[in-house]
Amino acid sequence: MNKVILAAATSALFALTTANPAFAAGDVAKGKEKSAVCAGCHGADGNSAAPNFPKLAGQYEGYVSKQLTEFRDGARKDPMMTGQAAALSDDDIANLSAYFADQNIKTGAADPELVSLGKRLYQGGNVEKAIPACMGCHGPTGAGNPAAGFPALAGQHADYTAKQLEDFRSESRNNDRNSMMRDIARTLSSHEMKAVASYVSGLH
């Protein structure tokens, strides 16, 4: 068990020292113009109204750039996003990423019935199941770690976050560095996923 936790910590340290979020700085104004096509799902300012579409507002440029590039190039699979990203140039991606990073996310509210479990997992993990604390990578307030490429989670729709955890567990999403999220998700029950996803939606 201790070996598993040590392996997770080592993977996190490796990511911190090898992440390369060296994406070209984008133009916010041009990104705003280009974002019109994104607004139907993600909202005009990156705060989507539908819980199954992620909020992009306030997310780091490097992380948004990575996801859009991987949707375009096929490393991350999604029928809708693959089509939307297919025609994006590197400049388009940089500009969109700059625009969404410049917006402010509107935080949600956690389900009171799930807060206790979600907080416990987020802040302390689960030693018995060798689940590391989420805040080790994503920060105490869910602000993420742009230098390491770990995304901000605070305020994200709970439904979307839970779905991503489910996808990592099934490996239908597999674009995480060193299989870190897939390894963690395999140890989580669906109830634990819902709890931690609900908890982070209320972080700010």
Instruction: Quote the DSSP letter at residue 25.
Output: P
CA distances from 175 to 8, 50, 74, 89, 201 (A): 17, 24, 10, 20, 22
Distance of alpha carbon 34 from alpha carbon 48, whole angstroms: 16
Q: Which of 146, 165, 169 is nearest to 156 (CA)?
A: 165
Out of 77, 101, 125, pick the residue that ends a domain. Answer: 101
| 3-state DSSP assignment of residue 145 | strand
Residues 76 and 96 in one domain: yes
Residue ending a domain, choose from 85, 101, 117: 101
- Burial tier of 45 (Cβ tally within 10 Å: 0-12, 13-18, 19+): buried
Regions of the chain where pLDDT drops below 70:
1-24
126-143 per-position pLDDT tens digit? 999 999 999 999 999 999
Token pair recorded at residue 133: 């604390």
pLDDT of residue 24: 60
Residue at which a domain ends, from 51, 77, 101: 101
12 and 112, same domain (yes or no): yes
Q: Are 114 and 197 found together in one domain? A: yes
What pLDDT, on the 0 to 100 scale, is given for residue 40? 96
111 shares its domain with 197: yes
CB 146 within 8 A of CB 157: no
Together in a domain, 177 and 115:
yes
43-87-81 Cα angle (round to 5): 45
Query: What residues make up the domain containing 166?
Result: 2-19+107-201
Are 62 and 121 in the same domain? no
pLDDT confidence of residue 204: 81
Structure tokens at 87: 């025609």
Say if residues 174 and 164 touch (Cβ distance below 8 Å).
no
Largest CA distance in the chain: 50
- Same domain for 133 and 172, yes or no, is yes
Number of domains in the chain: 2
Measure the CA–CA gap between 58 and 102, rounded to whole angstroms: 6
